[in-house]
């Protein structure tokens, strides 16, 4: 297996891992409904099915653009679509708040992928809830992206930080670090750079990419 196919397999593994929970909830709800006669319990089962279906759809839509080629090659993506995709990921967690300060109406495909994957890393770090603030602007022929996750007990894997910093190569990535490696590769391909910093209650992730079709 070449490095590129190995890396593609890792992204697929990550996608499957993140879909397992909502798809399992959907299956469990359907299984319970098949045997449950009590109307109140059936209503609860239906709610479980609806939650699983909603979460599965939200994650599929997110990964289609974050990892895949949604919309075709070389096209821009609206900021509103990106906001909806991240909001969908956070929708079933009442302890999460999304703040949006993306100024451009459109972002290149590369910038969109970087924003989504940095946002997902930020969401993953808020294990006890908190606020995810996303910002972006065009400045001096570049797109600057900033993601700030604030909340109690920020969880940030040091290996993800190493992947963002370029210390982990494609062929040494894992399913957990693959999105961070993808972010770094996109930044490198678009003449950009990445930054990250971690404090006790805040994780800050940043990217600067050259403006272009992406």
Domain ranges of the chain: 3-210
DSSP, res 145 = E
Number of Cβ within 10 Å of residue 16's Cβ equals: 12
> What string of pLDDT tens digits covers the 214 residues of the chain?
556 777 888 888 888 888 888 888 778 878 877 787 788 888 888 887 888 888 888 989 999 999 987 654 457 899 999 999 999 988 877 899 999 999 999 999 999 999 999 999 999 999 999 999 999 999 989 999 999 999 998 999 999 999 999 999 888 899 999 999 999 999 999 999 999 999 888 999 999 999 865 4
Closest CA to 113 of 171, 37, 178: 178
- The predicted model scores a pTM of 0.88
Q: How far apart are CA 100 and CA 98, in angstroms?
A: 6
Please give the distance of CA 87 from its chain centroid, rounded to a whole number: 10
* CA max distance for the chain: 64
3-210, CATH topology level: Heat Shock Protein 90 (3.30.565)
Q: What residues contact 64, with CB distance under 8 A and at least 6 apart? A: 70
Q: How far apart are CA 131 and CA 129, in angstroms?
A: 7
């Amino acid at each position: 297996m070449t490095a590129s196919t190995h890396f593609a397999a890792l992204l697929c593994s990550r996608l499957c891992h993140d879909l397992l929970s909502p798809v399992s909830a959907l299956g469990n709800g359907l299984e319970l409904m098949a045997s449950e006669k009590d109307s109140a319990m059936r209503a609860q089962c239906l709610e479980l099915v609806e939650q699983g279906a909603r979460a599965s759809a939200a994650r599929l839509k997110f990964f289609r653009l974050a990892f895949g080629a949604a919309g075709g090659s070389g096209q821009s993506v609206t900021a509103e679509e990106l906001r909806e995709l991240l909001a969908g990921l956070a929708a079933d967690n009442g302890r999460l708040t999304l703040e949006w300060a993306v100024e451009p109406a459109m972002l290149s495909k590369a910038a969109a992928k970087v924003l989504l994957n940095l946002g997902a890393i930020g969401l993953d770090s808020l294990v006890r809830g908190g606020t995810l603030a996303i910002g972006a602007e065009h400045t001096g022929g570049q797109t600057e992206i900033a993601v700030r996750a604030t909340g109690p007990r920020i969880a940030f894997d040091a290996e993800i930080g190493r992947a963002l910093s370029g210390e982990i190569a494609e062929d040494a990535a894992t399913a957990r670090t693959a999105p961070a490696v993808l972010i770094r590769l996109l930044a490198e391909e678009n003449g950009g750079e990445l930054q990250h910093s971690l404090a006790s209650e805040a994780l800050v992730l940043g990217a600067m990419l050259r403006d272009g079709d992406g």
